[in-house]
């Protein structure tokens, strides 16, 4: 125990934190790209753009039906055969964002479809363009509905990004396995890795909850939220 806290942690924690930073970068970049992909695909499918919406439907189907790890390996090891050589980190971002993007497109599609058509009518009836109706009326409401699910996907992404260790990206898990290869202290190191994942996911979950509350009109917020805020201001 003493050794764990006073030798192993000081010695290996910084290296693990370096990995954790890469994990965060991977996750945040992939999530941002996945939101763009997911929203784009959802809008194309809802607008029933000819051909394009069929292609998008096929994309969603294929990417949801192949394991993420297989997708990552395909991107990293077979794209070079056709002349596309991506560094591990960017192959990871590409693989993760395409995968999560497929799922998010369904989240956005459901959220947008759930907005009453009367909202669209109201926007159009005061002279808004279809684009403005989306920007000012439908998307702000749909986002509020999608946000908790989006947050959930981000938290799984934080953890699933560990699969990128298979394509030689020095993220948290891989840095852990490197330490283990040198020290054979698998139990302690895996424990540290687990703790770091937990802290990141826990913090992310709290952040999502907070943003969700911020987007909820004040009168619908549980009293506790405003109380906490008032205490913090005090």
Partner 1 sequence: MTGAPVLSVRGLAKQFGATKVLNGVDLDVTPGEVTFLIGPSGGGKSTVLRCLNFLETPTAGEIAFDGQRLCHEDGGVFQAARESVLREARSHMPMVFQHFNLFTHRTALENVIEGPVIVQKRPRAEAIEEGRALLKRVGLAERADYYPGQLSGGQKQRVAIARALAMRPKLILFDEPTSALDPELVSEVLDLIRELAEEGRTMIVVSHEMMFAKRLAGRVHFIAGGRIEESGTPQAIFDDPKSDRLKAFIRSILH
* Footprint on this chain of partner 1 (rule: CB under 8 A): 116, 118-119, 121-129, 132, 136-137, 140-141, 144, 217, 219-220
Least separation in angstroms between residue 132's CB and partner 1 is 6
As a three-state string, the secondary structure of 56-83 is: HHHHHHHHHHCCHHHHHHHHHHHHHHHC
Least separation in angstroms between residue 223's CB and partner 1 is 16
Residue number, 82 or 223, with CB nearest to partner 1: 223
Q: In sequence order, what are the residues at sequence separation of 6 or more whose Cβ sits closer than 8 angstroms to the Cβ of residue 115?
A: 137, 138, 141, 142, 145
| Secondary structure of residue 87 in the 3-state scheme | coil
Least separation in angstroms between residue 147's CB and partner 1 is 13
Residue number, 184 or 219, with CB nearest to partner 1: 219
Q: In sequence order, what are the residues at sequence separation of 6 or more whose Cβ sits closer than 8 angstroms to the Cβ of residue 14?
A: none
Q: How many CB atoms lie within 10 A of CB 68?
A: 18
Residue number, 113 or 183, with CB nearest to partner 1: 113
Residue number, 48 or 232, with CB nearest to partner 1: 48
């Amino acid at each position: 125990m003493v050794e764990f806290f006073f030798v192993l942690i000081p010695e290996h924690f910084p290296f693990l934190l370096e990995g954790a930073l890469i994990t965060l970068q991977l996750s945040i970049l992939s999530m941002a790209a996945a939101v763009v992909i997911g929203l784009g695909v959802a809008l194309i499918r809802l607008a029933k753009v000819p051909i394009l919406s069929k292609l998008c439907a096929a994309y969603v189907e294929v990417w949801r039906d192949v394991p993420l790890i297989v997708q990552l390996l395909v991107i990293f090891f077979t794209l070079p055969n056709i002349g596309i050589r991506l560094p591990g980190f960017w192959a990871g971002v590409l693989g993760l964002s395409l995968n999560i993007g497929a799922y998010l497109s369904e989240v956005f599609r459901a959220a947008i479809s759930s907005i009453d058509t009367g909202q669209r009518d109201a926007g159009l009836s005061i002279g808004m363009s279809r684009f403005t109706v989306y920007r000012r009326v439908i998307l702000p409401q749909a986002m509020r509905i999608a946000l908790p699910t989006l947050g959930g996907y981000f938290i799984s992404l934080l953890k699933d990004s560990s699969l990128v260790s298979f394509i030689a990206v020095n993220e948290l898990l891989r840095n852990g396995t490197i330490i283990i290869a040198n020290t054979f202290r698998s139990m302690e190191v895996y424990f540290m890795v687990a703790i770091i994942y937990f802290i990141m996911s826990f913090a992310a979950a709290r952040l999502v909850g907070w943003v969700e509350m911020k987007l909820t009109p004040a009168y619908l917020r549980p009293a506790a939220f405003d109380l906490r805020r008032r205490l913090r201001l005090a």
